Each structure stands twice: as structure tokens, then as C-alpha cells.
């Protein structure tokens, strides 16, 4: 093989080796750094968005009697905990719609990462000028009411009602598109039920199950 051809072959091999090394290094060190920063920022702003939606809707306050009616028999035993399903569904829909609107309004977000952080070396993390990366969070919000029962003393049961607002967020960046889920759990109201509560209710967490229960 002629020296000139040999030099060309060596140059190509070196170029390929350097390219492979840079690609592997980029995927192993730079991508996780950018993704971690993107996920952390989006998780924070998305959680705030769904929290604001829930607190805005229930800001006026919801009483237990608005959502549930406890019925007793002549002996003081609980015969039914009747959920006000139209009211519950309306509130859930309002929260989900507002949370979705808040997520849609986020638009393009910017994160700043120092040049030193891109090296993947711990000693250089946070050093050097910042590089701004634009990310676009796209999410879909949902809302559920959750019910919890717990003992509150002799023949007394504490019934707590929470709103679970959660959203799946797809983060669009120049190098990857990770998906994260955020969730906010907010206490709506609680009530101490006096009297024996049937075991069928004590095992319920999801209020959607309660709406279909007919003891």
C-alpha cells in the first residue's frame, strides 16, 4: 500500500474513532446532565401548575356535606355514605380543565447549564459561562378524588377526601424527549363519622368505586 493511501486510511480510522468516542461521551455525560436539569425544571413548574389549578377551584372551600351524606339506621349504625356524584364530577372536571390550561400556557422554557457541567467532571460542574437550552413541555392533566377512612376512636371513623391531580409531561429538547409524571395531592375536607362504618367502605380508596357501591 502506498504511503499516501496509508495516510488517508489512517486519517479516516482516526476520524471514525474520534467520532465514536465523542458520540459515546456525549450520550453518557452530556445528555444525562441536560435531561436531569430539564426534568427537574419541568417537574417543578408542572407541579406548581396543577397545584394552582386545584387550589383555585377549591379556594372558596368545600364542606364534607357538599360531597357526601352519611345515613344511619335506627340503631345508629351507618347504612350508607352517599356521594354527591354530580358535584364531585363537576369539581374534578373543572380542576382537570384548569390544570390542562395551565400546562398549555407554559410554552417554551429555558434552562441554563454551565459549560463546565457539560464536561461530565464533578470538579468542573457549575463553572464557566452558561449555555441556554430551550425546552418545550407538553402535558395532559387528569384529576381524581380519593377517599381514606381511618379509626378516630371508639366507634368513630375519620373520613378524609383528597384530590389527586396528575399529569404526564413530554419534554421536547434538541437531544431527547423524556416523559415525566407529576402529581399533587390536596386535602379537600374531612369528617368524623360517629357510628359503626361497614367494612365495605373502609376498604375503599377510589371514590369512583364508592359512587358505584350500593350496600
Q: What integer pLDDT is reported at residue 29 of this predicted model?
A: 67
Q: What integer pLDDT is reported at residue 1 of this predicted model?
A: 57
pLDDT beneath 50, residues of the chain: 212-215
Are the beta carbons of 112 and 142 closer than 8 angstroms? no
Q: What integer pLDDT is reported at residue 214 of this predicted model?
A: 42
- Alpha carbon 208 to its chain centroid, in Å, reads 21
**Segment 119-155, tens digit of pLDDT:** 666 666 777 787 777 788 888 888 888 888 888 878 8
Query: How much is the mean pLDDT over the chain?
Result: 79
29/25 Cα distance (integer angstroms): 6
- Looking at residue 30, the DSSP 8-state letter turns out to be I
Q: What are the backbone angles phi and psi of residue 174, rounded to the nearest 5°?
A: -65, -20
Strand bridging mode 78-83 / 130-151: unpaired
Q: What integer pLDDT is reported at residue 156 of this predicted model?
A: 85
Are the beta carbons of 201 and 158 closer than 8 angstroms? no
- Looking at residue 100, the DSSP 8-state letter turns out to be H
For residue 163, which of 110, 102, 105, 87 has the smallest C-alpha distance?
A: 87
Residue % of the chain over a pLDDT of 90: 0
Amino acid at each position: 500500500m502506498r504511503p499516501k493511501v496509508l495516510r488517508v486510511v489512517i486519517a479516516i480510522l482516526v476520524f471514525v474513532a474520534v467520532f465514536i468516542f465523542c458520540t459515546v461521551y456525549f450520550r453518557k455525560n452530556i445528555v444525562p446532565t441536560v435531561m436531569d436539569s430539564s426534568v427537574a425544571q419541568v417537574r417543578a413548574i408542572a407541579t406548581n401548575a396543577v397545584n394552582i389549578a386545584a387550589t383555585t377551584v377549591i379556594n372558596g372551600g368545600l364542606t364534607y356535606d357538599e360531597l357526601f351524606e352519611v345515613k344511619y339506621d335506627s340503631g345508629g349504625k351507618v347504612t350508607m355514605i352517599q356521594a354527591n356524584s354530580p358535584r364531585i364530577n363537576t369539581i374534578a372536571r373543572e380542576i382537570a380543565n384548569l390544570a390542562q390550561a395551565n400546562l398549555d400556557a407554559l410554552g417554551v422554557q429555558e434552562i441554563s447549564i454551565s459549560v463546565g457541567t457539560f464536561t461530565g467532571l464533578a470538579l468542573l460542574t457549575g463553572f464557566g459561562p452558561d449555555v441556554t437550552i430551550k425546552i418545550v413541555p407538553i402535558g395532559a392533566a387528569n384529576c381524581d378524588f380519593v377517599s381514606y377512612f381511618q379509626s378516630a376512636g371508639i366507634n368513630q371513623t375519620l373520613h378524609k377526601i383528597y384530590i389527586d391531580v396528575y399529569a404526564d409531561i413530554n419534554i421536547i429538547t434538541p437531544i431527547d424527549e423524556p416523559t415525566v409524571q407529576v402529581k399533587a395531592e390536596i386535602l379537600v375536607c374531612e369528617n368524623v363519622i360517629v357510628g359503626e362504618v361497614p367494612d365495605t367502605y373502609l376498604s375503599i380508596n377510589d371514590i369512583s368505586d364508592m359512587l358505584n357501591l350500593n350496600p
